[in-house]
């Protein structure tokens, strides 16, 4: 990669460096798309499944960066 691209700031300039997007497993629900929530009082807590808000039930979340390519295992 050219030094110009490394120093280019996409916020203020039109860079040749592409913006990388990737999807990774949602940390909140672990990829299932649902989370367990408890309703009711402490003594009579009821366990139910709710759609994960972090990923909208998709199980994956999308991220974008122009600065680095993330480690898929990270
Ligand atoms: Zn999720």
pLDDT single digits (tens) 37-57:
888 887 888 888 999 999 999
Give the percent of the chain with pLDDT over 90.
35
Q: What spacing in Å lies between the alpha carbon of 32 and ligand 1's midpoint?
A: 7
Beta strand ranges found along the chain (DSSP E): 20-25, 34-39, 46-51, 60-65
User: Which residues are found with C-beta within 5 Å of the ion, ligand 1?
Assistant: 26, 28-29, 52, 54-55
Q: Residue 70's pLDDT band (boundaries 50, 70, 90)? A: low
Distance CA(43)–CA(25), nearest Å, equals 34
Ligand 1 centroid to residue 25 C-alpha, Å: 8
Q: Assess contact for 43 and 3: CB atoms under 8 A.
A: no
Of 61, 59, 54, 73, the closest CA to residue 21 belongs to 61
Q: 5 CA distance to ligand 1 centroid (A)?
A: 34
Average pLDDT over residues 4-14: 64
Whether 56 and 29 have beta carbons less than 8 Å apart is answered as: no
């Amino acid at each position: 990669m050219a030094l110009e691209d490394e120093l280019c700031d996409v916020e203020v300039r039109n860079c040749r460096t592409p913006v990388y997007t990737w999807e990774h497993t949602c940390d909140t629900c672990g990829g299932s798309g649902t989370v367990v929530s408890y309703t009711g009082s402490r003594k009579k807590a009821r366990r139910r499944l709710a759609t994960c808000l972090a990923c909208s039930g998709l199980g994956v979340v999308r991220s974008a960066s122009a600065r680095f390519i993330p480690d898929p295992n990270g």
